[in-house]
Amino acid sequence: MKYVVPLKKGIFPKPIKIILSGQNPPVFNEELNDFKIFTIDESINYFGEMGGTSKEVLNNTEMMDIYTDILNKDLLFLNQYLKKIPI
């Protein structure tokens, strides 16, 4: 939500298109290793604190491995977008 208000107020440029994906885009920059990467345990804590994810899913290591991978790719995408915006 902290980025929605600046978008609405015109502080951030409005995106022309938005693509939400947990997959690597074709032009994925492998040099973004310095961004925060969640471990499975951190991912379990993150989703647990947000609420809405059942304990059955949180306790399923295989499922959380998949969620963690998707979360990390989405965070890399978000950080790459925000890095280009002057604040």
pLDDT per residue as tens digits for the range 22-76: 655 555 555 444 457 789 998 888 888 888 889 998 999 998 998 888 888 888 8
Write down the pTM of the prediction: 0.48
Helix, strand, coil abundance in the chain, percent, nearest 5: 50, 0, 50
